[in-house]
Amino acid sequence: MSSFKDLRIVDNFYQTSSYIPMPTVLISTIAEDGSTSVGSYSLCFPYYIAKGHKGYYALILEARNSSNTAQHLLAGRKHCAINYMPAGPGYNKKIVAQGWAGDTPEEKMKSFGFTLEEGLCAKENSGEKRPLVVTEAYQVFECTWMDDLEDAYEDIGRQLVDGAYPPPYKNFNGITTEFGAHFILRIDKVLMKPEYYDNIINGVKGRSWPNVLVCHGYRDSKNFWFAKTRKLIPEILPIRQATLSSVRYAADRCDPNVHFTDDALEKLLNVPRVFLPTALKGCVAWAKENGVDTITAKEMEIINDKRAKEKGKTK
């Protein structure tokens, strides 16, 4: 006999039929008059987590397509900022207030309880109109809607009919249902408050973690439910070291013109098997760029230093 009960799945299942911890974000977009409009969301998740052939990283935002946020993006003002909010005095109430459906941007921003400032994209591209970012956020992703995916640009300028969109609908980017929309958002910049930037760059410590505000999915007719990150519990990753022969097997089949010495491959023994081909291809690409046909431990140190510097630049 099962230890679980079968709960009926209904619309908005993440709120009505489940407990799913999600981020608490405020999304900044550009209103029709050029001002910054802010709405609260939780359905915003990583989408492209490696550059791959796309050449960029991305999030996916799920939104009611009649919302101010969706309407601003569908009007062709494709820049937005994802502001990740911490716990703070009165923050819950202020965030929920920005999620009230039906308010115009002007009505929402009259009671906006946070501070806005210019992001880094606008400072670096003075001719580009970007929404402001929320000062109180612990991190901000400045993004652009990639409307070329699934030809979502075809949805720009479409008009609501009685509060909904008639067909056609996209599968994953643009207007996806009568009442819903999905937006693939390229990450242009990650803005991080100094103390949390230092935590990532100089070694993560639990006491230096932001007090993240988590939305817990389920809501009733009266309340949203939030939780704070009160205490972090570190758990050591299991080490499953590959054998030199298994790494050699993969390396010898990576490229016939680039050879790895044993001492070079020893530096790859702790790379998880699923990531080993990518790591080897990166080494081979570096070797070809630098006219190297044999990678030794010395070259591996150079490659690892390069990777560490590149990682630091992206933080």
- Predicted TM-score (pTM) of the model is 0.78
Residues 6+ apart with CB under 8 A from 241: 269, 270
> How far is residue 214 CA from its own chain's centroid?
15
Find, among 303, 275, 270, 272, the residue nearest to 287 by Cα.
303
Q: Token pair for residue 282? A: 């990166």
Q: What is the pLDDT of residue 315?
A: 45
- Per-residue pLDDT at 111: 87
Q: What is the pLDDT of residue 134?
A: 98
Can you give the pLDDT of all 315 residues of the chain as single tens digits?
A: 999 999 999 888 888 888 888 999 999 999 999 999 999 999 999 999 988 788 999 999 999 999 999 999 999 999 999 999 999 999 999 998 898 888 899 999 998 999 999 999 998 988 889 999 999 999 999 999 999 999 999 999 999 999 899 999 999 999 999 999 999 999 999 999 999 998 888 777 777 888 888 887 667 777 878 887 767 777 776 656 678 888 998 899 888 899 999 999 999 988 888 888 889 999 999 999 999 999 999 999 999 888 777 666 554
> Which contacts qualify for 117-121: CB closer than 8 Å, 24 or more apart?
119/81, 119/189, 119/191, 120/189, 120/191, 121/79, 121/188, 121/189
Instruction: Using alpha carbons, select from 69, 84, 55 the residue that is nearest to residue 182.
Output: 69
